[in-house]
Amino acid sequence: MHPFSPPLSLDVIHSTLATQALGHRIELRDQIDSTNREAVALAHAGVEHGTVVVADSQTAGRGRLSRRWFSPPGVNLYCSVVLKQSTATDRPAEWLSWLPLMTALAAAEAIETIAAAHVTVKWPNDLLIAERKVGGILCESGTTIQSEPFQIVGIGLNVNGERSGFPEGLQETATTIRHETGCPVERNRLLVQFLHELEVCVEEFESHGTERVAIAYQHRCRTLGKVVKVTLTDGKEFVGLAEGIEQDGALRVIQYPLPTDGRSPDVHHLRVADIVHLRS
């Protein structure tokens, strides 16, 4: 056992969980290929809304766009939640584009409730402490054979590891909560808090729409007002000024520097892209 990191435990989690639905059923694994892959399989098999898959380590943790998520044992949180919201049928486009942003918000709130850290978000859903990545989110969606839509919210958080434990390519960009705060975090508690915050965000979205969630997200989002390098999924790159978040969760980026010949600047509405913060 890791000296700073007590084991994940269903008893401990259930003894403090106070959610309406999220986490009432939890599948806890010592090791798994990917909690998202397992959650998708369970969703297809018809598990109830709010089912959670948690693992102590992943052998094939997934990032977006087929990238990998570094998932060593004993120190971190890897978890996927199965959602079956009615909003997904009523307002599917809005729901699917806001879900990763809401998840980032919920995770940031959860970390700050438990640890003395200031967490920001890099659009769409990188969690940062001191400009380094402390967590990532991967949302997927599908439909069961009974035509019932589902969404999977996957989150990986670097909790109690050492920064020197990251592979070389990540040592300059990644961090852990314990490294930044000097204090270990109880992973069971962090999971319970995350499920609570996610449920609050989802309820807020269901009953009041995007308005308050959008304000909270914009408040957290470090990308806004920054000059950013954008890489699109086809590999094309450009530099622009990240101006705002659209009603549908897209990032609005305007041409930068502005044209000097009187033309109006190009405006991009980004739904999927990689962003690097260049300067304020």
Binding of residue 100 to ligand BT5 (CB under 6 A): no
- Binding marks (x or -) toward ligand BT5, 110..139, rule CB under 6 A? -----------------------x--xxx-
Nearest to 2 by CA among 177, 160, 179, 190: 160
Binding of residue 226 to ligand BT5 (CB under 6 A): no
In whole angstroms, the minimum distance from the beta carbon of 256 to ligand BT5 comes to 23
Strands (E), the chain: 26-32, 52-58, 77-83, 119-122, 126-129, 132-143, 149-157, 227-231, 237-245, 251-255, 267-270, 274-279
Strands 132-143 and 126-129: antiparallel
In whole angstroms, the minimum distance from the beta carbon of 272 to ligand BT5 comes to 10
In whole angstroms, the minimum distance from the beta carbon of 100 to ligand BT5 comes to 9
All residues at 6 or more sequence positions from 72 whose CB lies less than 8 Å from its CB, including other chains: 57, 161, 165
- Binding marks (x or -) toward ligand BT5, 19..58, rule CB under 6 A? ---------------xxx---------------------x
Tell which one of 70, 150, 194, 205 touches ligand BT5 (CB under 6 A).
70
Token couple for 245? 């978040």
In whole angstroms, the minimum distance from the beta carbon of 239 to ligand BT5 comes to 20
Return phi, psi of residue 186, to 5°: -75, 115
Using DSSP's 3-state secondary structure scheme, residue 153 falls into: strand
Using DSSP's 3-state secondary structure scheme, residue 167 falls into: coil
In whole angstroms, the minimum distance from the beta carbon of 203 to ligand BT5 comes to 23
Using CB under 6 A, list all residues that contact ligand BT5.
Answer: 34-36, 58, 61-65, 67, 69-70, 78-80, 133, 136-138, 154-156, 158, 170, 174
